[in-house]
Amino acid sequence: MSEKSDSFARLHRPGDPLFLPNAWDFVSAAVLVQAGYEAIGTTSLGVAAAAGKPDAAGATRQETLALATLLARLPVLLTVDIEAGFSDVPAEVAAFAVELVSVGVVGINLEDGRPDGTLSSKEDHCAKVAAVKSLAPDLYLNARSDAFWLAGTHGQPAMNEALERSAAYVAAGADGIYIPGIAGNEVKELSSAVDAPLNVLYLPGKDTFAELATAGAGRVSTGSLLVRATLQTIVETARRAWRQEVVPDPARPTYHQVESLLADG
C-alpha cells in the first residue's frame, strides 16, 4: 500500500474512529483542512447540488473527477464518494478508480443503492468491489450498503441484508464497510459482526460521536450534513439582513481570509 493510503487506512480504529467531514467544492474543503482535519471526504449530494444535477443518479462523474483533481492539491488525505461508480460495468468502475488514484485520491465510497431506490444484487456489487481492488489495490475501498438507507427498509430484514452484504463485500476485497442510517444497537451489532472498520453516518439528535466510538465505529462521517447546514445559513442570513434582524457571529471569515484560502489558486 502507498504511504498515503496506509496512513488513511490506519485512521480507521474501531472504538477510536476517524471523524470525517464531507466537502463538495474547493472552499468547503479548504476551510475543513484549515480547521485541522487529517482526512476529508466528498458528499455526492453536495456535488450534485452545486452542479444542479440529481444525486445518486450517476449524473456527476465529470464533476466528481474535477472536484477530486481540485481537492487533491490540498494537504489532506482525500476520499471520494463515487455513488455506484457511474457505471454498471465493473471494469469501467475500476478504470474510474484508477483515474482517481492518479490525481492523488486515497479512498472511495462505492454504494449498492441504485437511482430507482432499489439495491443492486450482492453479486453485482461484489464484482465492482473486486474489479476496483484488482486495478487499484492501494485505494481504501469503503463499500457502502444502502440496506438501511433506502426507503421502506427497516428492522431485522435490513439488518440481515446489511450483515450478509457486509460479509460478501469484505470477502470481495473491501477495506471498510459503510452502512448509513444505523444508530444505537444497530451500530454495536454491525461493528461486532463485520470483519472490517465500520463507517457510520453521523445523525444529529441520535448517537453522539463518543457513543458511536463506544459502539465500535471505525469511521464517522457527516455525509450531506454540512452542505445542508449551509443552505439553512444562506436563507437565514439573507432573511436577517433583509428583515433588519441582527446578522450574528463575528467568527464569520472576512473577505481577505477567504481570499487567503485561494492564494495558491
Output 3 or 151, the one with its CB closest to its own copies.
151
CA angle centred on 212, ends 210 and 216, rounded to 5°: 115
Half-sphere exposure of 232 (CA within 13 A, CB side): 6
Work out which of 89, 98, 171, 258 binds its own copies, going by CB under 8 A. 258
Three-state SS at 33: helix
Residues 95-114 that bind its own copies (CB under 8 A): none
Residue of 11, 49, 94, 126 that binds its own copies (CB under 8 A): 49
Q: In Å, what is the CA distance from 107 to each residue of 8, 58, 102, 151?
A: 8, 19, 12, 27
* Whole-number Å distance between alpha carbons of 222 and 234: 19
> Of 1, 14, 26, 92, which lies in the binding site for its own copies, with binding defined by CB under 8 A?
26
Sheet holding 140-144, edge to edge: 18-20, 219-221, 198-201, 176-178, 140-144, 107-111, 77-81, 39-42, 22-23
Q: Note whether 108 and 97 are within 8 A (CB).
A: yes
Helices 90-103, 122-135: crossing angle, 10 deg rounding: 40
Q: State which of residues 4, 53, 61, 188 lies at the interface with its own copies (CB under 8 A).
A: 53
Interacting residue with its own copies among 9, 11, 39, 45 (CB under 8 A): 45
Nearer to its own copies by Cβ, of 191 and 224: the residue is 224
Q: Is 19 in the site for its own copies (CB under 8 A)?
A: yes
Residue 115 interacting with its own copies (CB under 8 A):
no
Q: Closer CB to its own copies, residue 32 or residue 119?
A: 32
State in angstroms the smallest separation of the CB of 225 from its own copies: 6
Contact 72, 103 (CB under 8 A): yes
Judged by CB under 8 A, the number of residues near its own copies is 66
Contact 145, 165 (CB under 8 A): yes
The residue within the footprint of its own copies, chosen from 154, 164, 192, 209 (CB under 8 A), is: 209
| Interaction site with its own copies (CB under 8 A) | 19, 21, 23, 25-28, 30-32, 34-35, 37, 45, 48-55, 59, 70, 73, 202, 204-205, 208-210, 220, 222, 224-239, 241-244, 247, 249, 251-255, 258-259, 261-263, 265
